Amino acid sequence: MNDALLAARDLRVRFGGVLAVNNVSFDVRRGEVFTLIGPNGAGKTTVFNLISRIYDLTSGSLEFDGQVLHKVPPHQVASLGIARTFQNIELFEHATVLQNLLIGRHICRRTGIWKELIFSRGVRQAERDTRRKVEEVIDLLELQHYRDALVAGLPYGVRKVVELARALCTEPKLLLLDEPSSGLNVEETEDMAFWIQDIRRDLGVTILMVEHDMALVSKVSDRVLAMNQGEVLAVGSPAEVQRDQGVVEAYLGSVDDVASLRRENHGEAA
Ligand SMILES: Nc1ncnc2c1ncn2[C@@H]1O[C@H](COP(=O)(O)OP(=O)(O)OP(=O)(O)O)[C@@H](O)[C@H]1O
Ligand SMILES: [Mg+2]
């Protein structure tokens, strides 16, 4: 049996003269946390945009759960079981937390317009399922206190958790997290690590993450893929990848990242 939930083969994307992603292949196995690292501009978010079908491949292929993904229209990606968060939080700022989660859920519900109009038993059942799922996610991520608050008035760290919650409400098989710790303080980053571990363990969701904080990467990742200038440098356990000479050299251009990498290699607290 093939244990790959997502299979990426020879991914290539060209933007004008720039090969933003070149010959990138990897598998994300069912149940794992797989993390993409690399300096700024390496092509990590572009890989996410290929999987979300925001960008078309120049060449290569993507298979998700045994189906061809790279030809699926973008609006069908959520209903296949893929959800994501964004490097810059994307929420409805002038809606409440609860409304954002309900909207997230409705995007992937498929009851059909005629059923909606007559409000059939199927629709009522779907509505009950939606409420139950949303409440479950609110409990899991401890958002009870913020349920009726407007997103615009919430601290950044809470909005980050709300975005994660919204993605989970679609009941994804694969969750894409683009820099879950960016903008968070040390304590919030530790909380984020717990949420990621809980989501994988309690909900059985497979996670593909992009992250710069090497302490978080080492704590939660089963495997890591390092990229630079659109290409794969190394794949392996967090420790293996951080020791890789090509990876260390690629990071030398990025002072913050190399400091974080060194701390991790020497076992110091971040
Ligand atoms: N829509 C686009 N049009 C043109 N160039 C793009 C586009 N999207 C990304 N790029 C280029 O592709 C390269 C990879 O960008 P990408 O955003 O994937 O990097 P990243 O690894 O996510 O970096 P960061 O860590 O800064 O988020 C960059 O050179 C970027 O300028
Ligand atoms: Mg990015």
| pLDDT tens, position by position, 116-126 | 566 666 777 87
Give the list of residues 6+ apart from residue 130 with CB closer than 8 angstroms, or none: 102, 105, 106, 109
| Residue 260 confidence (pLDDT) above 80 | no
CA-based torsion, 121, 123, 126, 128: positive or negative:
negative
Query: Which residue's entry shows tokens 């980053």?
Result: 189
Position 115 scores a pLDDT of 56
Position 114 scores a pLDDT of 59
Q: Give the percent of the chain with pLDDT over 90.
A: 77
77 alpha carbon – ligand 2 mean position (Å): 20
**pTM of this structure:** 0.89
103, with CB counted inside 10 A (0-12, 13-18, 19+), is middle
Nearest CA to ligand 1 atom 11: 20
- Ligand 1 atom closest to residue 87's alpha carbon, by position in its atom list: 27
Confidence of residue 270 (pLDDT cuts 50, 70, 90): very low
99 alpha carbon – ligand 2 mean position (Å): 28
Residues with CB under 6 A from ligand 1: 15, 18, 20, 38, 40-46, 87
65 alpha carbon – ligand 2 mean position (Å): 25
Nearest CA to ligand 1 atom 29: 41
Distance between CA 60 and CA 169 in Å, rounded?
A: 31
Confidence of residue 110 (pLDDT cuts 50, 70, 90): low
